[in-house]
A and B are shown apart, each in its own frame.
Chain A
Amino acid sequence: MASSIAVQTLQGFDDVQFRLSNSGKARLWDPAIIPDSWTKLRVGLCAVIPGTATLASSNLAIGICSGITQPYGKETVQHFVGAKYGPAWTFSAGTPDNYQAITVKPCKKNGSGETLGTTLSSGLNAAAELVRVAFFVDITRGSPNYTIETARWSNLGANDVTPASFLTGMAVAMASIGGWDSDYTAVAGQTVAVDVGTDGQFNAVNVFWDTASPTLSDCIIAVARLA
């Protein structure tokens, strides 16, 4: 099943939410809004994985790419950098039912060649019930190494992350993310080498979920230019 869009009313306005099923989303940002002088971007995803069993080969990529014709998930990728969650997601029953992505790594992909950095963390990452969980991926520009930091859901809880709360969290520095929501913990960053001169300037947001079922549901994507 391809991506679908759900529209629901949140906070008095229609909110567009995505559902990804072996599919992805990419969108060019306006350089007037995010000029190429950015030094730190945060790509955020708020989503739920409504599954019931452990996943052995499911990957979630959250990051930025160059152009939108060949984002992550295409056979040939035009310069993606971000974080890659998976491939193993351990299902656990609880309150709520939840998934733990065993491995989260910095990821750079250009063409068909993928480079994965040192593992960032393992732990709780997603809820398996209709409790939305936030994924925050900070991308700090470097030369050549870009630093990828993440925040992860560290305490099982039944608190749904609302769009408003998610957007508030988007603005909170990683070091203070626990102050935004005590269920979340910042994970120390790792690096991956990037060459925008050769592989292409980043100008788009990109999220990809390579699994048809369960879907990655109720997705809200946000981008924050932190510096």
Chain B
Amino acid sequence: MSKGIISTIIDVAGETSGYAPMNCGHKVALDVDQATRYQSLNVEQATGILRIKLDAAPGAGKSITLTAVNVNRNGGSPTDVQSFTLSEAETEGQFGISTLDSETFQVWKVTADSGHGVSVLRASLVTEDLLEIPGPNWLATSGTPGIQNSVAGFSDGLVSVGDAEKWQMSSVARNTRVSVYVPYGVTGEAYFFRNVEGVPEASTSIQSQDGGGSYDLELFPGDIIQVMFIPTTGSSRCRAALANFTAFDFAEIDSFPMLGGFDPLVFGSNPTQYASPFADDESGTVESDHQIVLPAGATIDQLYVRTKYAPGTGRSLTFTLRKNGVDTALTAALTGSSQTQAQDTANEVQAVAGDLLSVGITDSGGSFTRDWIAVGFRLVAAKGSIAETGSAHLQGPKSIAQTGFAYIAPIAGIIAQDGFAVLQGATAIAETGSAYLVQAGIQQAGSAHLIRDLNGGFGWLGPWTTYDGED
């Protein structure tokens, strides 16, 4: 089950026309004459509270309405399922989101009264255990704390050295802790705030440099977290992948889906492109411009890609998740004249905090119609040096890596297994089958429950009893 928070910023200040694609993090514009836009909302297997917040109230006689719309993947008319309206002086609200079936995805329909004007709507889905505010989410603002002149929401905002302050405000969080990782391309100083009623209550300076920095801040229901960054040295205009927020309930390991999207450059003349895997305005040919940094160790899997248009007869479009500028095993390709969605659910990639992620797109050539592209994948949190991708209870220190459902309860050393397992033992357990293992030094590839006696061993209540024959 995925639990977590998918934070999405809808920027209603940037554009005046056109429809936004149904993927997370893309710009959505509302203006006086165009009142309805759609934005994707990832609620895959999630049940929680959708919190929304406007930086400016709609104003007298005005309102803005957020409507959740269910769309069946197999066709049919979208169905409005629930909505929430912020009127006049209201700036915040919330409503519940329920788990959807596999055939349905959900989009937001944002409707504003004519004359609503410029505003920024932020929204996030909050569930119990995990908070994830992904990606390059700096807003190129300056001046006093707050959101001003936001340019891109989740997109590639820029931070210019010399600007006084850059602020990013997330949405709400509850009962969790937050780490901020500030690793990319610029030296500066970050401050991390927990806001109560919009007033920063606590701040922590995080010295930012390429190596990154982090800080844990306990959050409480309704808190708003905010980060300010003051760049000091570095390139004159640094990419916005400066800070990621990741919050885990450290008592529990879980996974959460990530969605992103972007507009590609014109294919044909740009057969190889790169984009941020979280969200991007537009892909490009310089990969470093689109890399984002992973804020915590994770296993990455379940890569999905979707385009508006198929590549065309005899053509293909290949998407590869790249880590630190190198292709990973996660790849999905669209081919032919009708395929618009592809996925890789078989492979996975291990990543650590600080890894730079990007999506490489390779066009086989031809005249692929340029339009939006959506990318989604799953991050499975790593706890310590344990990396796992299944539903599991893991107890133990380091160097555990496994991909199946498991209960692992040791010990130090290296435990690696791929199947269903309960592992208790010391070092050097490695197996690839379904197993119940109790002991050190076991290596096996089949289905088994094994207890082996070695030096006292595990799984026994006492030592061997040795006895002589009597009859």
Contact = CB atoms under 8 A, between A and B. Distances in A.
A226 B449 CA distance: 6
B424 interface: yes
Interface in B412-471: 424, 428, 433, 435-436, 438, 440-455, 458-471
A221 B463 CA distance: 13
Contact of B451 (A16, A25, A223): A223
A164 B464 CA distance: 21
Contacts of A30: 438, 458-461
A210 B464 contact: no
Contact of A171 (B445, B453, B460): B445
A173 B442 CA distance: 17
Contact of B435 (A11, A18, A171): A171
B461 A29 contact: yes
B451 A168 contact: no
B441 A13 contact: yes
Given A73-B470, A164-B443, A171-B444, A225 B465 contact: no
A80 interface: no
Given A27-B453, A73-B467, A171-B444, A225 B436 contact: yes
Given A167-B442, A168-B443, A24 B467 contact: yes
Contacts, number: 126
Contact of A29 (B424, B442, B451): B451
Contacts of A86: none
A208 B465 CA distance: 11
Interface residues on chain A, size class: 35 or more
A74 B451 contact: no
B436 A2 contact: no
Contacts of B436: 33, 225
Contacts of A34: 449, 451, 459
A36 interface: no
B321 to A, nearest CB: 35
B471 A75 contact: yes
Interface string A150-175: 00000000000000100110111100
Contact of A33 (B440, B441, B448, B459): B459
Nearest to B431: A171
Contacts of B449: 33-34, 224-226
A205 B454 CA distance: 15
A12 B443 CA distance: 13
A167 B452 contact: yes
Given A27-B460, A75-B470, A226 B451 contact: no
Given A16-B455, A27-B463, A226 B470 contact: no
Contacts of A74: 467, 469-471
Contacts of B468: 2-3, 22-23, 73
Given A25-B466, A30-B460, 9 more contacts: A16-B455, A33-B459, A73-B471, A74-B469, A168-B443, A171-B447, A224-B450, A225-B450, A225-B451
Interface of B: 424, 428, 433, 435-436, 438, 440-455, 458-471
Please give me the 4 A-B residue pairs with the lowest Cβ-Cβ distance, nearest first. Answer: A225-B449, A171-B448, A171-B446, A33-B459
